[in-house]
């Protein structure tokens, strides 16, 4: 999450962090709006439900959980080097391509 927030801030974006714990100070330095949930990994459902598209970059079980929730909820998934064997994911080669595709999806293009 930190690398994504850093990239968004570098490009002038506003960042929101949906946190697993109850302490907003646990957010990384690049988060403008921390949302502590106290929900642990269950916050993955909020991450997916709040998005028009999600971007998965590499990742492990938490990323896989978000991908599964997204597919089940009908939220588009764009992946960079992540879970290439799952049907229903749009795979791209770079973070820039992932962001461009996610924006296209979110804007209905």
pLDDT at 4: 87
Q: Are residues 29 and 70 in the same domain?
A: no
User: In terms of residue numbers, what domain contains 28?
Assistant: 1-38
Residue 47 lies in a domain: no
Q: Are residues 56 and 92 in the same domain?
A: yes
**Nearest-angstrom CA–CA distance, 82 and 64:** 9
What's the structural domain count of the chain?
2
0.75 exceeded by pTM: yes
Q: Are residues 29 and 82 in the same domain?
A: no
Give every CB contact of residue 64 below 8 A, 6+ residues apart in sequence: 83
Q: Low-confidence residues of the chain, pLDDT below 50? A: none
pLDDT at 107: 86
pLDDT at 103: 92
pLDDT at 1: 78
* Helix/strand/coil for 67: helix
Q: Mind listing the pLDDT tens digit for each residue in 4-32?
A: 899 999 999 999 999 999 999 999 999 99
């Amino acid at each position: 999450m930190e690398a994504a927030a850093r990239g968004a801030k570098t490009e002038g974006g506003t960042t929101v962090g949906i946190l697993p714990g109850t302490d907003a100070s646990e957010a990384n330095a690049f988060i403008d709006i921390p949302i502590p949930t106290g929900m642990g990994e269950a916050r993955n459902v909020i991450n997916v439900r709040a998005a028009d598209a999600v971007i998965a970059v590499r990742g492990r079980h938490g990323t896989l959980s978000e991908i599964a929730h997204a597919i089940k909820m009908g939220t588009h998934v764009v992946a960079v080097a992540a879970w290439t064997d799952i049907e229903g994911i749009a795979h791209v080669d770079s973070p820039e391509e992932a962001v461009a595709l996610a924006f296209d999806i979110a804007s209905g293009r």
